Amino acid sequence: MNDASKDVPVSLVASVAGRDDSSFEVTQKFQVRQVPDDAKEYYIRFRISTLKRCREQLGILENAGFPYGELCLAIASITLGAALGAWAGGVKLEAKFTSGFFYIALPCIAVGTFILYVFLRHSSVVDAKKIAKNVLGDLPLIDSHTEPNQDFSKIATSMQDDASTLGTVEKPISTFEITEPAADKGGFDFSDPKVSWNQFDFNTAYFLQINQESGKADLVDQVFQQSPLAEDPHEVLKWSGWKLYCKLEYGMSGQFDALEVLAKDNPGIHDFAAHLGRIYRKYGDNKQAAVWFECAADSCQIKAVSLRLLGDAAEASLISGQKDRANSLANRIREYQANDSDLDRIKLTIERRLLEIGKDDERSIGILERLLELDPTDDNLRFLLGFKYSEMNRHALAALHYGRIDIRKRGGSSWNNLGVALYHIGIPSLSIEAFLASSAHGETLAASNLANQLIPAGFLQQAEDLLDKASITKPYDNAVDTSRSTLNERKSESLKKLEESNKKVTFISDFYKRFGESIVLPHPPIQNGIFEGPEFSVTVSINGDQFLAHGKYVVQANKLLGIVFPAGAQPIPISYEVTIRGNLLGSTMVGNIKKIVVERPPVAPTLLDVQNGTPLLLILSPDGNSLHAMEIEPEVSPSIFSFVRHP
């Protein structure tokens, strides 16, 4: 029996100098599969996609000032060197190309090698043998089952498109990194102030040092007085206010009156009013905090800062029980013209804080969906949205969003919560895989969840581990392949079921995106009147922030409604009265729809006789002529429909 094959780690590093004195460090880390001694073979796999990635890399280096031609020749020489070295060392070369590019390029490579050597020797940029050895990092060995590590460069990240992964967590064995050495600044020490600092640096340093007994806060103040900033009276005044605020934050008495005088004497400087608002909020006086935050917002000329201060004022008003004042401030924010996505995100974030205080889950979901639409890469927000869906027992939507968190960035909590969601939507195999991944991150809750699910689940991952070990032994029984085929079919079924689940709930997520977008819009000019829907019409009346609609419709009684008719009898119509009631916020309505039977056949009552109502969400169109609705019925998929104003 031969010894089992093993992985041999290889790491190459090169520092390459450019014509413009710039330098790049090229690092290649990979593993080569070494087979038993009696085989004496190494297997090297080249793929055309690897060459494509190298071309992209060359473009990046060229833009940074690196000599493009020299690097091309270096790569060409190494390609030839790898081939010749493999031949000379008794290596079996498996070159798998979709075209004859490799063979056509061999003569060019030979010529290029000679030119490269002469040129580099002549220019003395770097020893030719050294660069020929170390630029091997430009041709990484990519095996079909590997996945680049998330901590490396964008080039390594782009290479993951070539990897074939099916959701399993694998340890990467091939990484590729290009870094440009940064100048050594010696670190940024906030305890050692410099006159060259900007206002932010001084503010941060003073805040960090004020609570220390080292006296460094006074040193920061002294250096500020010697800096160019001290030549501007406006900056000196702001610095005085900042020092007072920092002392108050750390509970130093005797500073409050001075800060209040600054705020009242300088209404045009919003910083002082904002400082007072934060201090009042710190000590629980949210009513006064709201006043000062609003003053700060009114005097601030920076749109983003003004919006945030209005949000602080609205939040403080809501906490202090001033609901009308909070609504008024929130309406000011909604009417604010957001000309870019950054301001839009600020408005949405403020609205989300207010909705969390009011425990308005439906609108909170809409806000989170909209925020993720603006920045789908924000995994922290995606986690919060998944958690919110889980809290509301909407596990399919939770699985949708937990599953969209970058697999390389998922921590123990994300994997665990994904496992819980997958279990609730009936995919135990993927649920167990998620619990295993979470447990590997040290999440003890996942270990508990896994223990509760192993017996009724399929032990798929454990079975695969056993099959992998069995496959190493030569020869192995044909039953191993049969079992692997069965395992793969089970995995395929699970993935297909997850895909179907995602498709079923994507339209709900899309509705919430538009719902979240409409929350921060002003109330449309909607008029009372009749609106026609797909099944019935309603008469709408609006009073302040209260929405009310009434309507009627008729259905034919049949067995599907639980009513049995004598032989030959005709179905009898059942009349329903519909009431929609809810509260308005922005261009949205959250409420419920209630359907009550007013006329039914003289037979046994049905479950439809009494309804307590189901949740209903409405999006009001900007022109006020249409209402887009989603009825959230229990145990079934929500239904989405629209009402249009009767002409």
Query: What does the pLDDT look like over 540-581, one tens digit per residue?
Result: 999 999 999 999 988 876 544 555 555 555 667 888 899 999
Confidence of residue 418 (pLDDT cuts 50, 70, 90): very high
Structural domain contains residue 414:
yes
The answer, yes or no, to whether residue 165 has pLDDT greater than 60, is no
**Strands (E) located in 473-572:** 529-532, 537-543, 546-556
pLDDT, tens digit, 9 for 90 and up, residues 289-331: 999 999 999 999 998 999 999 999 999 999 999 999 999 999 9
In a domain, 300, yes or no: no
- Pairing outcome for strands 588-599 and 573-585: antiparallel
Whether residues 132 and 93 share a domain: the answer is yes
Residue that terminates a domain, selected from 522, 551, 583: 522
Cα 633 to Cα 640: distance, rounded to the nearest angstrom: 11
Confidence of residue 610 (pLDDT cuts 50, 70, 90): very low
**Which range scores top for mean pLDDT: 94-98, 187-191, 241-245, 461-465?**
241-245
Does residue 332 belong to any structural domain of this protein?
no
- Final residue before a domain boundary, out of 498, 522, 546: 522
pLDDT band at 74 (very low <50, low <70, confident <90, very high): low
Cα 420 to Cα 432: distance, rounded to the nearest angstrom: 9
Q: What is the pLDDT of residue 60?
A: 44
State the CB neighbour count (10 A cutoff) for residue 177. 19
The pLDDT of residue 8: 45
Type of residue at 378: D
φ and ψ at residue 149, rounded to 5 degrees: -75, 145
pLDDT at 86: 54
Q: What are phi and psi of 135, to 5 degrees?
A: -75, 0
- Residue 73 and residue 167 share a domain: yes
Using a pLDDT cut of 90, give the percent of the chain over it.
Answer: 38
pLDDT at 520 over 80: yes
- Say if residue 467 is in the same domain as residue 515: yes
Burial annotation 527-544 (CB, 10 A radius, 16+ → b, else e): eeeebebeeebbebebee
Given a contact cutoff of 8 angstroms between Cβ atoms, the answer to whether 409 and 383 are in contact is: no
Q: What's the total number of domains in the chain?
A: 3
Q: The domain containing residue 382 runs over which residues? A: 376-522
Dist CA 96 CA 421 (whole Å): 42
Structural domain contains residue 359: no
Kindly state the greatest CA–CA separation across the chain: 105
- The residue among 120 and 332 whose pLDDT is bigger is 332
Average confidence (pLDDT) over 103-118: 62
Specify if 477 maps to a domain. Answer: yes
Give mean pLDDT, residues 60-74: 49
Non-local CB neighbours of 445 within 8 Å, separated by 6+ positions: 416, 438
Instruction: Tell whether 439 and 545 lie within a shared domain.
Output: no
The pLDDT-based confidence of 81 (bands split at 50, 70, 90) is: low
Q: 56, 162 in Cβ contact below 8 A?
A: no
- 209 occurs within a structural domain: no
Strand blocks (E) in 300-371: none
Q: Are 244 and 255 in contact (CB under 8 A)?
A: yes
- Same domain membership, residue 573 and residue 475: no
Does the pLDDT of residue 10 top 50, yes or no?
no
Q: Per the structure block, which two tokens stand in for 103?
A: 């063979």
Query: Residue 440 — pLDDT band, cuts 50, 70, 90?
Result: confident
Which pLDDT value is given to residue 382?
Answer: 94
pLDDT value at residue 640: 93
Cis-peptide into 522, omega within 30 deg: no
% of the chain at pLDDT higher than 70: 64
Residue 319 lies in a domain: no
Is the pLDDT at 246 greater than 60? The verdict is yes
Q: Which of 140, 159, 179 is the last residue of a domain?
A: 179
Of residues 586, 516, 498, 520, the one with CA closest to residue 373: 516
pLDDT band at 335 (very low <50, low <70, confident <90, very high): confident
Tell me which residue of 106, 46, 47, 43 sits closest to 77, measured CA to CA: 106
> Do residue 508 and residue 538 come from a single domain?
no
166/62 same-domain check: yes
pLDDT on residue 424: 92
Give me the chain's average pLDDT, please.
74
554 and 423 in a common domain: no
pLDDT of residue 153: 33
The encoded tokens of residue 106 equal 């061999």
Look up the pTM and report it. 0.58
| Angle, CA 21 vertex, CA 16 and CA 27 arms, to 5° | 25
Whether 490 and 386 map to the same domain: the answer is yes
- The pLDDT value given to residue 213: 67
Say whether both 568 and 518 belong to one domain: no
453: domain CATH number? 1.25.40
Give residue 381's pLDDT.
92
- Rounded Cα distance between 283 and 271, Å, is 19
Band the pLDDT of 137: cuts 50, 70, 90: very low
Determine the average pLDDT of the residues in 522-532.
90
In three-state form (DSSP H/G/I as H, E/B as E, the rest C), the secondary structure along 50-115 is HHHHHHHHHHHHHHCCCCHHHHHHHHHHHHHHHHHHHHHCCCCEEECCCCCHHHHHHHHHHHHHHH
Q: Residue 208: in which H helix or E strand, if any?
A: helix 199-209
- pLDDT at residue 445 in the model: 73
Q: Can you tell me the mean pLDDT for 254-266?
A: 88
Examine residue 40 and state whether it is found in any structural domain, yes or no.
yes
Residue 547 or residue 159, greater confidence:
547
Q: Are residues 475 and 385 in the same domain?
A: yes
Which residue carries 């439809």 as its tokens?
Answer: 608
Q: Give dist(CA 444, CA 447) in Å, integer.
A: 5
pLDDT(368) > 90: yes
441 and 401 in a common domain: yes
